[in-house]
Amino acid sequence: MAPKKNETKRTMTPEHKAALAAGREQGRAVKAYLEGLAATKPKRGRRRSTESMVARIAEIEDALATADPFKQLQLTQEHIDLTEKLSAEDPTIDIAQLEADFIRVAKAYSENKKISYAAFRSVGVPADVLKKAGIPRSS
């Protein structure tokens, strides 16, 4: 089938391109903040300090020399778990910077995507942050 004679090639205006770029930036800032909140959310139970884990690893290494095979198995697994936990400790997340970026874009993002105050609250965004961002409770 032959193309129509009056077809014109559609191009995006610079304004449309800028709007798309702004939307991507807003989405990245909101996503980074929500991921930062999730990563820094306190876990249940008592926190283990790095020092206590290192001390326990040293105790395990001492105990392995005299332990029976069954106890060696348990101690070895505990050693592996502690070593992985130490190496996987999150590098410090600059939640303050992520929060500042979120506050800067959250209102526009909320309006564009029609995301309510309640939705942000349900995923853990603190009320004071939403207030700073200018997102009203009744939206």
pLDDT digits (tens, 9 = 90+) for 7-53: 678 888 999 999 999 999 999 999 999 999 988 887 787 777 889 99
Rounded CA separation 59/103 (Å) = 47
Over 60: is that where the pLDDT of 55 sits? yes
pLDDT at 42: 75
48-80: b (≥16 Cβ within 10 Å) or e:
eeeeebeeeeeebeeeeeeeeeeeeeebeeebe
Backbone angles phi, psi at 103, to 5 degrees: -60, -40
Backbone angles phi, psi at 68, to 5 degrees: -75, 165
Tokens of 78: 């505990």
Rounded CA separation 113/58 (Å) = 52
End-to-end CA distance of the chain: 50
pLDDT at 2: 61
C-alpha to C-alpha distances, 68 to 57, 63, 73, 83, 91, nearest whole angstrom: 18, 10, 9, 22, 37
Over 70: is that where the pLDDT of 6 sits? no
Would the pTM of this model clear 0.75, i.e. be above it? no
Task: Collapse the DSSP code of 48 into the 3-class scheme (helix H, G, I; strand E, B; otherwise coil) and give the result.
Answer: coil
Best CA proximity match to 50, nearest among 83, 93, 95, 92: 83
Stated as kind and residue range, the H or E segment containing 137 is none
Tokens of 130: 């939403």
Average pLDDT of the chain to the nearest whole number: 88
